[in-house]
Structure 1
């Protein structure tokens, strides 16, 4: 039995049995009816039962579903940096994280369109508690990251995740997607957690961390949505944070957020890949001797690239001007852009609550402030 048994996706040899088990599940039917609205059930079901690999399932079903989502809920997807990838190389994509499912689904769709290998992607176990969702994650080559563990169990889990990532890249030549932090960015501040990088460092077997990080071929990924489809769902947590209160999710919150992210209106989307980080590690490991400082410097470099490549939209500039009661960025948006944004947040945010208004506006404004900071430094 593989040591990765508790976290790994399905092997291709297991795919057909899993699809047979869930072919008639109501959620599978809902996905297929959305993706292939004019196709009789017996037709897509027959093809599903003839599917024997993760790649076939992703290409013939999931990729088609992503195209349908873009058609229904977005006004275009643009990309940059993908032409610099070597088609047969494996990379570690470290990404800002705004949407539970779409961030990695869109990246994989674009990788497929560019003839590159799709990733194995990290997903929190809180999102796959239902058997169908766990099976769907394993069918789309996701590996499980366990949350809420004791310190000792978390250390063991982190080591296992790091070894899985290492083996995927080095031995299977399979790219990996991970978020730069645990959980999605709620406030627009895309910042890498040192803990994620420390987890990665656990996979180093010979102690040469500089060489190890170079071999991982880390590519910072910036994904930018003109409208965050889950902006209003993030408000209760932001308000609790503003009051210095602990926020407790209700039982089905993650699932509702997942659906809102998929079907909510996003307008334009841009995905930008940075250059593979290489020489940066030579400098960092030469100048810093402590692991904490090394990880902090790497986090800062990933943040610099992600923020620099983040696509700013009219919504971001409108939010800054509303937050500052100014017209500093009026050249970056039209009166129609401003009116549409104001309608969006006033429909879902209590405008009599200044903390709520400020929290919502800051969610969109912070990327502008962060890019200013990066460009100045």
Structure 2
């Protein structure tokens, strides 16, 4: 297969067997790989796993034989199961741009990619920010998940040039029926539960064309909503939110991404739902701003198809003083979880009242958003 300039000039994706082998070998030298192997494949030696993957020639084989069993173990050990809706309604003879809310560094993209693969649709390209490429282990893992790096830091002219190149690369994957693409709706995970599409993401995609409705139609955009009954890395997210409020900025520690991946893999997630929406059609629309219109339509679908759990509803009831029976075993267990997380945050030196409010907001916001979406349809 001929290499696209994105991979040969920047080496920010894995498209050839040689690139895959080099990335795989680097991954197995990283401490993160040892952590994941011990937890996900306790019955196998590290050498046995490495030898098995030596036969693989690309990311799709790696995902099917290595990442898929790992993900299944994670789901079995740390969740009450995964449910899926909407995927069977999408044509199987087309590649899509899946624009998703973002709650977990690894799980979100992996769940979409591997369910596409298991349904016979092939894996997808996964867009990741260049901030993740600074962390050894995380960088290689993202590329092995068929990652494409989105450059967000550096000189403005360089960022713009790379964005044009990336947009053209992604558009070609879809138009030439190579791969579907997964892209988060904002540059990072939501820290406050408010799943909102950043128009800058849509503008980046538009660099492959002229920002016309026809250009967006060619991308076959499908919104995706991922919901976890128990928020991955909730204390990490609230800590960052509160520190930003206190200091106006937040400095991420060097090992923070690795720690959050580890915690998100091993923590209890409860039920998980993966909802695929409908392809966005702009025919007949009259807005002068196609970029904002696409962003608004993505938001409306994600807010509508997001599967809310009782954890979300209880948090919403507590913030709005709605009626809810807090004496049920489930409600008491959820309140205990919140209390434990507040205790963790206060042990870090953060005030308890804002910590509790931020945790509840993280859970409640999808309910607020769903009601807003429902109101806009009436």
TM-score, scaled relative to structure 1: 0.90
The range that moved more, 38-47 or 180-189, is 38-47
SS at match of 1:221: strand
- 1:283 is aligned to 284
SS at match of 2:148: strand
Q: Quote how far apart the aligned CAs of 1:142 are.
A: 0.3
Q: Deviations over 1:35-88 (max 9, x none)?
A: 322234443332122222221111110111100111111111000011022223
Aligned residues: 365
Q: Is the Cα–Cα contact under 8 Å of residues 93 and 177 in structure 1 kept in the other structure?
A: yes
Cα 1:46–1:198, aligned 2, differ >3 Å: closer, same or farther? same
Matched, 1:181 2:194: no
Give the alignment of 1:108-257 within 5 angstroms: 108-204=113-209, 207=210, 209-243=212-246, 245-257=248-260
Matched, 1:357 2:356: yes
- 1:84 is aligned to 89
- From 76, 86, 95, the equivalent of 2:100 is 95
Matched, 1:45 2:30: no
Q: Is the Cα–Cα contact under 8 Å of residues 9 and 140 in structure 1 kept in the other structure?
A: no
Cα 1:185–1:25, aligned 2, differ >3 Å: closer, same or farther? closer
Cα 1:173–1:51, aligned 2, differ >3 Å: closer, same or farther? closer
- From 290, 294, 309, the equivalent of 2:290 is 294
Cα 1:322–1:93, aligned 2, differ >3 Å: closer, same or farther? same
Q: Is the Cα–Cα contact under 8 Å of residues 274 and 306 in structure 1 kept in the other structure?
A: yes
Cα 1:304–1:131, aligned 2, differ >3 Å: closer, same or farther? same
SS at match of 1:189: coil
RMSD: 2.1
The whole-number CA distance in structure 1 between the counterparts of 2:224 and 2:113 is 12
The whole-number CA distance in structure 1 between the counterparts of 2:354 and 2:31 is 41
Q: Quote how far apart the aligned CAs of 1:172 are.
A: 4.7
SS at match of 2:72: helix
- 1:344 is aligned to 337
Q: Deviations over 1:116-140 (max 9, x none)?
A: 1111001112212244432332222
The whole-number CA distance in structure 2 between the counterparts of 1:19 and 1:208 is 37
SS at match of 1:223: strand
SS at match of 1:270: strand
TM-score, scaled relative to structure 2: 0.90
Q: Is the Cα–Cα contact under 8 Å of residues 70 and 76 in structure 1 kept in the other structure?
A: yes
Q: Quote how far apart the aligned CAs of 1:17 are.
A: 4.5
The whole-number CA distance in structure 1 between the counterparts of 2:55 and 2:203 is 42
The whole-number CA distance in structure 1 between the counterparts of 2:27 and 2:182 is 26
Q: Quote how far apart the aligned CAs of 1:237 are.
A: 2.0
SS at match of 2:104: coil
Q: Any stretches of 5+ residues in structure 2 without a counterpart?
A: none
Give the alignment of 1:252-267 within 5 angstroms: 252-267=255-270
- From 304, 307, 322, the equivalent of 2:303 is 307
